[in-house]
Amino acid sequence: MTLQGWFLILGFVALLLALTKPVGIWLFTLYEGRRTPLHVVLGPVERGFYKLAGIDPTVEQGWRRYALHMLLFNATLMAFTYAVLRLQGVLPGNPQGLAGLSPNLAFNTAISFTTNTNWQSYGGESTMSNLSQMLGLTIHNFLSAATGIALAFALFRGFARRESKAIGNFWADVTRVTLYVLLPISIVYALFLIASGVPQTMAGVVEVQTLEGAKQSLLLGPVASQEAIKMLGTNGGGFFNANSAHPFENPTALTNLMQMLSIFLIGFGLTWTFGKAVGNPRQGWAILSAMVILFLAGVTITYAQEAAGSPVLHHLGVTGGNMEGKEVRFGIAASALFSVVTTAASCGAVNSMHDSFTALGGLVPLFNMQLGEVVIGGVGAGIYGFLLFAILAVFVAGLMVGRTPEYVGKKIEAREVKLAVLAIAVLPLMILGLTALSSVLAQGLAGPLNRGPHGFSEILYAFTSAVGNNGSAFAGLTANTPYYNGLLGVAMWVGRFFIIVPMLAIAGGLAAKKYTPESAGSFPTTGGLWIGLLVGIVLILGGLTFLPSLALGPIADHLAMISGKLS
Encode pLDDT of 464-478 as tens digits: 999 999 989 887 888
pLDDT for the residue numbered 366: 92
Res. 272 pLDDT band, cuts 50 70 90? very high
Q: Is the model's pLDDT at 259 over the cut of 90?
A: yes
Q: Is the model's pLDDT at 501 over the cut of 70?
A: yes
- The string of pLDDT tens digits covering residues 349-396 is 999 999 999 999 999 999 999 987 777 877 888 899 999 999 999 998
- The string of pLDDT tens digits covering residues 402-436 is 777 889 989 999 999 999 999 999 999 999 999 99
- The string of pLDDT tens digits covering residues 309-320 is 888 777 777 778
Please name which of 359, 562, 480 lies closest in space to residue 109, comparing C-alpha atoms: 480
Q: Is the model's pLDDT at 224 over the cut of 80?
A: yes
Res. 566 pLDDT band, cuts 50 70 90? low
Lowest mean pLDDT of 20-34, 179-193, 232-246, 279-293, name the range. 232-246
Residue 417 or 215, more confident: 417
Q: Is the model's pLDDT at 442 over the cut of 90?
A: yes
**Residue type at position 467:** V
Res. 567 pLDDT band, cuts 50 70 90? low
pLDDT for the residue numbered 234: 92
Q: Please give the DSSP secondary-structure letter assigned to residue 199.
A: -
pLDDT for the residue numbered 320: 82
- Range 479-498 average pLDDT: 95
Q: Judging by beta carbons within 10 Å of its beta carbon (0-12, 13-18, 19+), is residue 435 exposed, middle or buried?
A: buried
- Radius of gyration over every alpha carbon of the chain, rounded to an integer in angstroms: 23
Average pLDDT, the chain: 91
CA 417 – CA 268 distance, rounded (Å): 26
- Range 253-280 average pLDDT: 95
- Range 211-228 average pLDDT: 86
Res. 217 pLDDT band, cuts 50 70 90? confident
Question: For the packed helices 482-511 and 63-86, what is the interaxial angle rounded to 10 degrees?
Answer: 160
pLDDT for the residue numbered 262: 96
Please name which of 409, 408, 481, 470 lies closest in space to residue 438, comparing C-alpha atoms: 481
- Range 15-34 average pLDDT: 95
- Degrees to nearest 5, angle at CA 465 with 296 and 394: 55
Q: Give 216's strand partners.
A: 208
pTM: 0.93
Neighbours of 45 (CB within 10 A): 13
Q: Please give the DSSP secondary-structure letter assigned to residue 209.
A: E
- The string of pLDDT tens digits covering residues 67-78 is 999 999 999 999
- The string of pLDDT tens digits covering residues 166-206 is 999 999 999 999 999 999 999 999 999 999 999 998 877 78
pLDDT for the residue numbered 103: 95
Neighbours of 169 (CB within 10 A): 24
Share of the chain above pLDDT 70, in %: 99
